[in-house]
C-alpha cells in the first residue's frame, strides 16, 4: 500500500467528501488520530457513515440521524469491520474529524493530522480485519509524511471524546503510538 502524490491510497475505495479544505501553509500532516464511529450507534454495515461524511444523511432514516443531520464532518479514512478501506479526503487536504482539539501545545488538530475512523464503538473489540488494514495503512502514511505521533481522539479532545475507546489495542499499531 502507498500514498500517491495527490494524497490518495490507490487500494482504497474513494468517495469524495465536500467537508474538507486546504491545510494551512500547505504543511504536511504530522499526527494520526484514531477514531471509532457507527451509524446508527452500535450498528454496523450500513451506509450511515458514508452518508454523514458526504452530507447525504437522511434524518428520517433513524431517530439518531435527526440529532446529527446538521453536522459537516469527514475523515481521511474509514476502515469497515470487514477491513474495507474507504478514503473520503486526500491526505494533502484537511478533513474535519477532530473538532475542538489540541496536541502537544498545538490547537486545531485538523490542521496537521490524518483522521482514521474505525467502524466500531467504545463497547466491543475491533476486528482482526481492521487491525490488518491498519497494519498496511499506517506504514504507508509513515513513509509518505513526517508523522511524529499516533493517538486517539480522546487524547486530543479529553473530556469531550472517548474514542477509539477501551477496546482498542494500541500494542497492535505500528509506529510512534501515544495511545
In this predicted structure, what is the pLDDT of residue 26? 80
Return the domain boundaries, the chain. 13-47+75-172
Min mean pLDDT across 14-18, 99-103, 170-174 is at 170-174
Q: What angle do CA 83, 145, 167 make, to 5 degrees?
A: 40
Angle at 160 between CA 58 and CA 165, to 5 degrees: 85
- Kindly tell me if the per-residue pLDDT of 5 is higher than 90: yes
Residue with cell 466500531: 120
CATH class of the region 13-47+75-172: alpha beta
pLDDT band at residue 11 under the 50/70/90 scheme:
very high
Taking the C-alpha atoms of residue 70 and residue 86, their distance in angstroms, rounded to an integer, is 23
pTM score, whole prediction? 0.96
> Cα 62 from chain centroid?
23
What confidence tier does 27 reach under pLDDT thresholds 50, 70, 90? confident
- Residues known to be catalytic: 117
Q: Where residue 179 falls among pLDDT bands split at 50, 70, 90?
A: low
Amino acid at each position: 500500500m502507498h500514498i500517491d502524490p495527490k494524497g490518495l491510497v490507490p487500494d482504497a475505495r474513494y468517495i469524495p467528501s465536500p467537508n474538507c479544505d486546504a491545510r494551512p501553509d500547505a504543511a504536511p500532516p504530522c499526527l494520526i488520530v484514531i477514531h471509532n464511529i457507527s451509524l446508527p450507534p452500535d450498528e454496523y454495515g450500513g451506509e450511515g457513515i458514508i452518508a454523514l461524511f458526504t452530507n447525504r444523511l437522511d434524518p428520517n432514516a433513524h431517530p439518531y440521524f435527526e440529532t446529527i443531520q446538521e453536522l459537516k464532518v469527514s475523515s481521511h479514512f474509514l476502515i469497515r469491520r470487514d477491513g474495507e478501506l474507504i478514503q473520503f479526503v486526500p491526505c494533502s487536504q484537511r478533513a474535519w474529524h477532530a473538532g475542538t482539539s489540541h496536541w502537544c501545545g498545538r490547537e486545531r488538530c485538523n490542521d496537521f493530522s490524518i483522521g482514521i475512523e474505525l467502524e466500531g464503538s467504545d463497547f466491543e473489540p475491533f476486528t482482526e480485519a481492521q487491525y490488518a488494514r491498519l497494519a498496511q495503512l499506517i506504514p504507508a502514511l509513515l513513509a509518505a509524511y513526517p508523522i511524529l505521533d499516533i493517538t486517539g481522539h480522546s487524547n486530543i479532545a479529553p473530556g469531550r471524546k472517548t474514542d477509539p475507546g477501551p477496546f482498542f489495542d494500541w500494542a497492535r499499531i505500528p509506529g510512534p503510538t501515544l495511545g
